[in-house]
C-alpha cells in the first residue's frame, strides 16, 4: 500500500512539473511572437547586378567593383594592378 502511495505522489509531482513546463514554453513562445511582430522588417533594396573579377573570379556587386582597362572589372586594386601589364 505504501508503494502505491509513493507512486501516486511521484505521478502527481511529475504531472505538475510537466504542466508548469508547458505553460512556461507557451509563455516564451508568445513573447517571441510578440517581439517578432514588434521588430520592423529590414528594408530590402532592389537586386544588384553582380560581376566577376577578371583576376580571381570572385563575384561581387557591380557597385563594389573596380573598373580596369578594356572594360574588365576587379575586386581590389591589387588584382587590377596584377592584371595590368607594365
> DSSP label at 45?
-
Domain boundaries, the chain: 1-44, 50-83
> What does the block give as the cell for 78?
591589387
pLDDT of residue 79: 92
Q: What is the pLDDT along the chain (86 residues), one digit of tens a residue?
A: 889 999 999 999 999 999 999 999 999 999 998 888 887 766 778 889 999 999 999 999 999 999 988 889 999 999 999 887 76
pTM of the model as a whole: 0.47
> What does the block give as the cell for 7?
507512486
Amino acid at each position: 500500500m505504501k508503494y502505491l502511495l509513493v507512486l501516486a505522489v511521484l505521478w502527481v509531482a511529475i504531472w505538475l512539473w510537466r504542466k508548469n513546463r508547458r505553460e512556461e514554453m507557451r509563455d516564451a513562445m508568445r513573447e517571441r511572437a510578440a517581439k517578432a511582430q514588434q521588430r520592423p522588417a529590414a528594408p530590402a533594396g532592389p537586386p544588384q547586378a553582380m560581376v566577376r573579377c577578371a583576376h580571381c573570379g570572385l563575384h561581387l556587386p557591380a557597385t563594389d567593383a573596380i573598373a580596369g582597362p578594356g572594360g574588365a572589372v576587379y575586386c581590389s586594386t591589387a588584382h587590377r594592378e596584377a592584371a595590368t601589364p607594365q
